[in-house]
Structure 1
């Protein structure tokens, strides 16, 4: 056995290879690691695979094919002939590094070692458990497909290939984690995406030095996403819908897919990407625009309605006379600021409880929340009725936010605004608002400003953000991403205008055509 750096060469002696692999995999200690000793044309051979991850039908088929080998066919350099003639399986390769052999076994492959051979035959016959691609609970639509991503990387790539049948689609595979060896796929359209962005993402993934990614895509995001770790605003967009992922590929974005996770990262992403939903593009443009405007209003109300009402209640002189009715009609036993904070805490507790509550008990949980928090708390004077109303509106706005991550970030912003108003009144509200705006202004997602196209201002792109554009009018891709191909639709050639003819030219043409018509009529009459 030859050891060169991190490479362990395959030894011609079968026992040396077997002992090294058995020590690495713990054969005999781990019940699911299987070693099978066989004989191929009079030579000793060994098969290694993981029980439950290798396809049994492929095992039987390969053993049947290898039993047809003759002694004269099995020479030390005959692995190429064996691969091409006797192993008629699609995904097969020869390996000469035992480290790669172990990685393939742990990934679900089948390896065959033959005594006297300096290479190992590896069959990619993985049998990963796959659940049905059922619709995601986070991205439901009234119209549209119901096949969503699952936890198996290859299955997810197939769902994407079904929608993007472009030969320029690239799905580059990388491995992250010295122990987990998690498969990560970088997906992009080669002649559309910015090559510098693609290279940056791949370099950051390759630079990760970690033993494993237990939380899959979220752990990977914290490694590759630029900026402060404590910035609550998400700089990548997650989706579990193949149609949404395919739409972003055509727009020039890059996808990062992690094995064992149904969530796919979309890079880069602005705050307006997090406010879009597939339902808008499944309806007519006018209806989609209406849905988008309602969603924007809901998000703004969830952010500013409770703090603004609290500011008006605490500093009543800020209101004009015609709005003097705004404010609490009766005060509770607890200051208004604490009422809002306690209500916020109750809503978040109910949200967590809904996640961990079985479906059969979800209705009971809703009744408890409505009766105990909504009615009894107001009746005993713990909460002001208007506090409950405005916090309920804010909660609805958070639930209407398509991005769960952005909804949680908006919750923290609302809490900060409430605390600022409670401490400093109007100066506190202005200070927190300006601080959040500066944070958004300085945030970038892989070089793309987070507030684009608002800042830097781009009128045409901002119009497409506020108004759901009809698909036939989507001629160009985003200029801010510096893409290779900006055209989404070919521009038609300008129609040729008919030449203007003078009256003299028209009469000359009639004289030329009229005898021909008369002759044709005479010929038709004679034939009749």
Structure 2
């Protein structure tokens, strides 16, 4: 006789069985499939109920008959191209009964439906997704498959130069809210047969279209796999805020103000990063493309530097570096020196306010920061014709009067204005907001602990940058880990012929560009 198994072995076996079976059950539960029925009326009853036909004015179902066969045509009003739909229906109306007696689907696809983008759909969930995405769907009585015709059109604006990435000389086209336009603008600049545009859908209810783009023989395959896995792990009902929601769900780190990806609305900038080995993420309904992975120094470069001669590009880049440093360090450093005059250099003593006001320097700086943030917010929400009036009100009525009545010293207004100019000169809007928060934190530490609080704050800021990673890529590269060749390309806008290597931090398969 067999001896009974010890309970420990039984429990271990059950545990292994659960681990092996659970993924299969999860897949089945997550994606229930209902096959298209051969009974057309049954399909119509289900789809009309679940798609809200006759409840939503724009969800339409046309019941038709061609060649002795009953058809049902589903589409969303506003997505379908009327001229193409009419031509297809006119052609189907000429069919004889003999032409649809057998292999109806095959005959229609091969000989009758004269359109390029057609697909066979075999379950009702796919039918619903196709209809809601825009294509037309034909269901045929007696057939267990449906035909999806991608004759859709979206409301779209024409490509125009992005407001945040303007250049004096260069292309004037930019990404728009329609994803297929954006991928076409990219392919126009990168005609590489290895360029891949891989499509996924995210969002249980929104079913948002997302494309992962990379050059197959250049990009690091581990990086591509990592990004795909992170997209597949997103579990949410919808992505109404498009790429920003995707970034938060992929990267987390919500308490770190610095952006984990770089956004661009310029096709030429996207093409440059593809050739370097980056992976791009396009999200439908968004004109911004996500560049991954990125470092701090990716956010301080601008296309304008590469549209001028190298020496001019170096000059512009260094001005921008100086402006960014001023936007972070100038006001807290000045306040630290004013509060600790013994540290103030003799040649800088003239910046100390001549008289003391009832409001301390610290609170003056804090009120000035709040006023600057409010002014920036008001500028965003102010119509363009009133923008000049807003500037006059801020400069003359608020700033000048505040100095005259003794609310601010002139020095506070001066240094806050210089910091604001540095903020506006930062190419990345997300980086400029992060730098404002860092500046605010440095002001608070300086106001509480004086000059040493400023030093501690700077150290904490650098530690934050050093410890941050974007998709396992060090955020402060090429300073840490140090890479001299890459640092030279960051500090200087080098001539094109010098850029013979792709960034090593991306671990590209093909690291040479010549």
**What TM-score results when the alignment is normalised by the length of structure 2?**
0.93
- Aligned partners of 2:320 and 2:355: how far apart in 1? 32
Compute the displacement of 1:320 (Å). Answer: 4.0
Corresponding residue of 1:197: 223
Partner Cα distance (1:65, 1:355) in 2: 52
- Residue 449 of structure 1 pairs with residue 474 of structure 2: yes
Q: Any gaps of 5 or more consecutive residues in structure 2?
A: 1-27
Tell me the CA shift for residue 332 of structure 1. 2.1
Q: What is aligned with 2:85?
A: 59
2:6 corresponds to which residue?
none
* Residue in structure 2 matched with residue 75 of structure 1 by the alignment: 101
Provide the aligned length of Structure 1 versus Structure 2: 486
8 Å CA contact 2:339, 2:451 repeated in 1: no
Deviating more after overlay: 178-187 vs 300-309: 300-309
**Other-structure match for 1:477:** 502
> What's the offset of the Cα at 1:225?
1.7
- Contact 2:263–2:289 under 8 Å retained in 1: yes
| Deviation at residue 75 of structure 1 after TM alignment | 3.1
Which residue matches 2:184? 158
* Residue 375 (str. 1) matches residue 375 (str. 2): no
The separation in 2 between residues aligned to 1:37 and 1:219, in whole angstroms, is: 40
**What's 1:434 paired with?**
459
- SS for the counterpart of 1:113 is strand
Residues of 1 paired with 2:347 and 2:498: CA distance? 45
Match of 2:143 among 117, 124, 127: 117
- Tell me by how many angstroms 1:76 deviates: 4.9
TM-superposed CA distance for 1:471, in Å, is 0.5
Provide the secondary structure at the position in 1 that maps to 2:173.
coil
8 A contact 2:330–2:419 mirrored in 1: yes
Q: Using the alignment, how far apart are the partners of 1:306 and 1:321 within structure 2?
A: 18
- Looking at structure 2, the residues matched to 93 and 214 of structure 1 have their Cα atoms a distance apart, in angstroms, of 28
* CA displacement 1:389-426 (0-9 Å, x = unmatched): 00000000000000000000000111111111110002
Q: Output the CA distance in 1 between the equivalents of 2:504 and 2:339.
A: 46
DSSP-derived class of the 1:390 partner: helix
Q: How does 1:494-505 map to 2 (within 5 A)?
A: none
Residues 7 and 98, structure 1, Cα contact 8 Å, conserved in 2: yes
2:65 maps to which residue?
Answer: 39
CA deviations 1:436-470 (Å, max 9, x no partner) are 11111100111111110011111111000000010
SS at match of 2:379: helix
Distance 1:419 1:261 in 2: 37
Q: Given the alignment of the two structures, is residue 390 of structure 1 paired with residue 415 of structure 2, yes or no?
A: yes
Please list the CA deviations of residues 476-498 of structure 1 after superposition, one character each: whole Å capped at 9, or x if unmatched: 10111111000101xxxxxxxxx
Matches within 5 A, 1:91-490: 91-225=117-251, 228-489=253-514
1:218 CA drift (Å): 0.2
1:322: how far off? Answer: 4.4
1:179 match: secondary structure: coil
Shift of 1:78: 2.4
CA drift of 1:325 comes to 3.0
Distance 1:120 1:134, change over 3 A: same
Q: Would you say the 8 A contact 2:337–2:451 is kept in 1?
A: no
Structure 2 residue matching 1:487: 3-state secondary structure: coil
Q: Normalised by the size of structure 1, how large is the TM-score?
A: 0.91
CA drift of 1:43 comes to 1.4
**For 2:164, what is the secondary structure of its paired residue?**
coil
Give the Cα–Cα distance (whole angstroms) in 1 for the partners of residues 348 and 228 of structure 2.
56
Contact map agreement 1:399 1:407 (CA 8 A) in 2: yes
Alpha carbons of 1:392 and 1:488: their partners in 2 closer, same or farther (altered >3 Å)? same
> Can you give the 5+ residue segments of structure 1 that lack an aligned partner in the other structure?
490-528
Q: CA RMSD in A?
A: 1.2
CA contact (8 A) 1:77 1:117 kept: no
Shift of 1:321: 4.0
Q: 1:76 to 1:17 in 2, by over 3 A?
A: farther
Q: Distance in 2 between matches of 1:388 and 1:471?
A: 42
Q: Distance in 2 between matches of 1:347 and 1:481?
A: 38
Q: Is the 8 A contact 1:76 1:118 kept in 2?
A: no
Distance in 1 of aligned mates of 2:432 and 2:91: 57
Aligned mates of 2:136, 2:304 — CA distance in 1: 44
**Are 2:178 and 2:284, in contact at CA under 8 Å, matched by a contact in 1?**
yes
Larger Rg: 1
**Counterparts of 2:462 and 2:291 in 1: how far apart (Å)?**
24
Question: Is the 1:298–1:400 Cα contact (8 Å) retained in structure 2?
Answer: yes
* Residue pairs, 1:79-90, within 5 angstroms: 79-90=105-116
Map of 2:7 onto structure 1: none
The alignment partner of 1:229 has SS state of: coil
Task: Please state how far the C-alpha of 1:262 moved relative to its aligned partner.
Answer: 0.1
Q: Is contact 2:338–2:344 with CA below 8 Å preserved after alignment?
A: no
Contact 2:100 2:107 in 1 (8 A): no
| Structure 1 residues 285 and 40: alpha-carbon distance in aligned structure 2, compared to 1, 3 A threshold | same
TM-superposition CA deviations, 1:277-298 (whole Å, max 9, x none): 0000000000000000000001
